């Protein structure tokens, strides 16, 4: 064997030995750039998406009930200093009057009896009754005005009716949120207050469409005028009237004459003759009936 052949065989053996050792040692680690990542089978997971805003994606606002709907109304005092003595009055404002600023209300004018003051109807429970009716939902809310006529035996007394229609009514309509029309304005009273209600209800039917006469005491000068007053009222402006009196009332005879005139001219009215006399005990026993009747008139409009 020559020298070149010997070298070639030595190189070949070296190469074969290197390969054998490599096989026995296992695969050589790859560099990071040469690593083969395992193949994974993707699952069908839908991509996460942000829902578009729609009208229903926001919570619907639920109106918060007004707490005033379960609370009574309130009475405030007022007076008109343009008169001497000043014309005083009280005003009942129904529940939620201050909160429901867009709402307007019918108005009931309640006149007290002779020797009493503008708190008489309040003392007898009128405000308590109307609060209960409104809060229970039996009646729509309305305003009540209690004008004072304590000066009945002084010079100011005879002018009370003029004060009421020319000053008090316009003031109430301009100051409070009233429904300023005859169908939404009532007047009623006890005793002397009923006497005023009769006069104003028949002579100013343009103002008052509802009239309450409780234990009516007719003014002496008015007794002979009632038929004339009724005849001058246009048919479509005739008021709706409620009359009641006790069977032991000293004013019963005159009240019956008035009722007869109303019947003769076919004015729509109710007539109630109860047991009782001309006292606060009688009126207090019937005040709820009175308030319910007034409230009913507006529920029918």
Q: Where are the domains of the chain?
A: 69-299
For residue 85, cis peptide bond before it (omega within 30 degrees of 0) = yes
Taking CA 284 as the corner, what is the angle to CA 283 and CA 287, rounded to the nearest 5 degrees? 80
Residues 6+ apart with CB under 8 A from 127: 72, 73, 75, 92, 121, 144
Exposure string for 104-121, b = 16+ CB within 10 A, e = fewer: ebbbbbbbbbeebebebb
Question: Domain 69-299, CATH 3.40.50.1820 — does that match?
Answer: yes
Tokens of 123: 């003392």
Query: Could you list the pLDDT tens digit for every one of the 301 residues in the chain?
Result: 555 555 556 555 656 655 555 555 554 444 434 343 444 444 444 444 444 444 444 445 445 568 998 999 999 999 999 998 999 999 999 999 999 999 999 999 999 999 999 999 999 999 999 999 999 999 999 999 999 999 998 888 899 999 999 999 999 999 999 999 999 999 999 999 999 999 999 999 999 999 999 999 999 999 999 999 999 999 999 999 999 999 999 999 999 999 999 999 999 999 999 999 999 999 999 999 999 999 999 985 5
Rounded CA separation 163/168 (Å): 6
Residues 6+ apart with CB under 8 A from 238: 205, 267, 268
Q: How far is CA 220 from CA 30, 192, 197, 224, in A?
A: 127, 11, 14, 8
Backbone φ/ψ region at 28: left (φ over 0), alpha (ψ -120 to 50), beta: beta
Reported pTM: 0.79
Q: How far is CA 64 from CA 67, 68, 97, 103, 180, in A?
A: 9, 11, 17, 18, 31
């Amino acid at each position: 064997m020559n020298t070149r052949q010997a070298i070639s065989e030595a190189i070949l053996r070296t190469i074969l030995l290197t390969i054998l050792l490599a096989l026995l040692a296992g695969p050589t680690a790859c560099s990071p750039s040469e690593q083969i990542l395992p193949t994974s089978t993707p699952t069908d997971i839908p991509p996460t998406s942000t829902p578009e805003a729609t009208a229903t994606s926001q919570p619907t606002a639920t109106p918060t009930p007004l707490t005033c709907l379960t609370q009574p109304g309130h009475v405030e005092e007022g007076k008109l200093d343009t008169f001497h003595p000043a014309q005083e009055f009280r005003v009942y404002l129904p529940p939620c009057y201050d909160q429901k600023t867009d709402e307007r209300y019918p108005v009931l004018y309640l006149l007290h009896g002779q020797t009493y003051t503008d708190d008489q109807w309040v003392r007898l429970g009128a405000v308590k009754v109307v609060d209960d009716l409104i809060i229970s939902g039996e009646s729509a809310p309305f305003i009540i005005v209690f004008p004072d006529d304590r000066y009945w035996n002084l010079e100011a007394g005879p002018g009370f009716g003029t004060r009421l229609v020319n000053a008090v009514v316009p003031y109430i309509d301009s100051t409070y949120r009233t429904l300023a029309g005859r169908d939404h304005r009532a007047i009623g009273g006890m005793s002397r207050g009923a006497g005023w209600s009769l006069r104003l209800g028949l002579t100013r039917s343009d103002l008052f469409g509802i009239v309450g006469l409780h234990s009516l005491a007719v003014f002496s000068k008015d007794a002979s005028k009632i038929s004339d007053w009724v005849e001058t009222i246009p048919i479509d402006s005739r008021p709706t009237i409620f009359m009641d009196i006790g069977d032991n009332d000293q004013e019963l005879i005159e009240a019956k004459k008035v009722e007869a005139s109303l019947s003769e001219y076919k004015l729509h009215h109710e007539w109630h003759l109860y047991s009782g006399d001309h006292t606060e005990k009688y009126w207090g026993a019937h005040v709820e009936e009175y308030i319910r009747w007034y409230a009913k008139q507006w529920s029918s409009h």
